[in-house]
Structure 1
Amino acid sequence: MTVTLRYGDMEVRWGLPVSAIHVQDILDRMNVQSGREIEFMFSKYDMIDMPANILDKWHKADIYKLNVFADCFQRLEDHQKAGFKSVLMRNPESSIDDMIAMTYGIDCVPVYPAKNYAELGEIAVENEMLPEIEECSDAVIGLLDYEKVGKLLAERDNGLFVDGYYCMPDSYEEPDISLTIEVPDKRFFRVLVSPSATTTDQAQWFNLPEDIRRLRAYSAEHNSTPEQMYITEVEAVLPNITDAAYYEAYWVEDMIALSEQLAGMRKSDVVKLKAVMETENIQTFSGAREAIDSLNEYEFDSMVQDESQYGKVYACRVFPTNFDWSILENCDMNDFGKQVLARKHGELTEYGVLSGKGQKLYTTLTAESETMEEAEKLTEDEAEAEDESEAMSMGGMT
């Protein structure tokens, strides 16, 4: 399902469910500093299986619970979705916990394939769903008006027609269940490992770095090491990891070592690393490890989400306190932010704004520094021209 997510001023449309590891990446992209609660909205264009009375409205939920709901909902068959929709229509104020419970208990809601009263009436007669017709002869039953029978049944059951089905939502009873919501804290990779390419039926999932010991024990059971095992699938919290990573000779060792490095880093530095990987197009585990060593050469601000915002923050931090701000009232701050960021060799990423390597985001730009750069470039050009002239002269002498 596609859901619109919102946190503060940040809005994104995202397809759920995803791996729990990727949920953390969504929070990083939305700059959720603490907690897990976000706002979400089902769109009428994306979620036709949801009742109209909850569409295009903002709701709040733990994003991990929302992800669990999406996973449970996608497993439902069409008739179960119709039953779910009917219960939600009767209970539009349901929380995400209630909705998860509905997916587990929806089979207690009777659902019949009927689009209208006539089709329902025919089903009611065939299955003797009304006591009034139980003792009727076949001759009498043949004279019944199915539409009237169906309408009578629907009125008694307080039923609803939903997406080609007749549902009885009043029969719903909340199941007595206890759910454990998986919230990865220091998990950065999830790998599906088997002893060999021919024994994938024995494959097991491992979370790195927390399951490293278990992975080594599993490998030892098969007289092997993690590096020699067959890895079927990899889920990474880092962006840009592509197939190029798996062609490197020591990619498994690099992945394990990288997971341990990430576990020892502050959350803000992990997010900064993601921004660097996006900007520098780093696609391998070894490349990510090298980027960690140079993180201090970049400046990063996760609070900035667009060029206009960067321009405003830059002006507030760099301009003097007695600056006449009325001058900027009609200024295009988006263009201003772009110009400054370009001079900083920076880039706006999915995680925030990142400076160029060796640059600072919020330092003064001066014409003098630009002139010096141009002068240095001119000197280099003059030196090259002089070398060429000298080479030509020497060529003429021979």
Structure 2
Amino acid sequence: MTADGASDRELLARVFLSRVLEPGDEVAGRWVRELGAVETARVLRKGVPQLAGVTDKRWAGLLTRAQEADAERDLGLAREAGVRFVIPGDTEWSAQLDDLGDARPVGLWVRGRPSLRMWALRSVAVVGARACTEYGAHMAATLGAGLAERGWVVVSGGAYGVDGAAHRGALGAGGATVAVLASGVDRPYPRGHTGLLNRIAEQGLVVGELPLGEHPTASRFIVRNRVIAALTTGTVVVEAAHRSGSLVTARAAQRLGRHTMGVPGPATSSLSAGVHELLRDDAVLVTDAAEVVELVGDMGELAPQRRGPVLPRDLLEPDARRVLAALPGRGAASADAVARGAQTTRDDAIARLYELRSLGYVERHGDGWRLTRQAMISVRDGRGGC
């Protein structure tokens, strides 16, 4: 038995399957669910009987892989590299991954010290365009830092652009972050992020479905995104064009019943077009970490109310504000006209006008009253003028 209670046979079978099967293969996932990992591995090693749901050509390809797979070797190499293989039934396995059904990983290779299960319980995915704008990088880094400061784990794909900015934001705030790779966890990709991914492994976690030495492919990037969506309580897309892979993550999150959020950008930006489409399809608009936490966090974790600056006229008593609002923007008005506009008596209007004069808002002009220059600016700003 392993330390986590899973049998050695189960562990070795799943290590073997991680080398033979492609991530996200739902047909193979059904075999594992119906036959179990040990029996599925046995059949693939023997080559008979041919399991249902695959062509002869595909079956032959799987058997070729099976002949080359060596689970003991893969586990040995992983131990030497400080990498562990977490499988369903382990205490570190995140039950959130079970929501993927037959597309659930057979296991995850994990590099780093923290518990994957514990970190997944309070995590948010921040994803977006690789070729992001300065605005996108700024928003991703700000979100990453803000979420980390609030005790949330930032999960992303380790790529250039938004992913890297989100990871750096979390690390810069001294927080927790997880990179989910489409390659072996010993093969940092992209190469330019080798230093970043090594730092993530030291301070957080680097995880992946593929065994050590495996390289990413276009299809592996796409299926990797379902793991990001499943591991987290919600996904935030910062920038994404219409065909962005980050939208795959968001759609997967929606199918799994996770929160899906988008950060808006300029209406003229093609890199925000995918996000805006997502927002039209029931994703929630967010602009900072507080708004994200309000959605994914516990009851009472509310974002502060947004409001404009407090103007001096806001500090006036309601009756005085009504009298001030009754004065015309240009020219003077009689006390009677002001009283009618403020819906009060003439005596009350006059009393309020003298009060406003002492505060510098109005001045006498013959038999009438008019706004001072200070009041004109205050009233204009208060009414949203430009």
Common fold by TM > 0.5: no
Give the TM-score of the pair, scaled to structure 1.
0.20
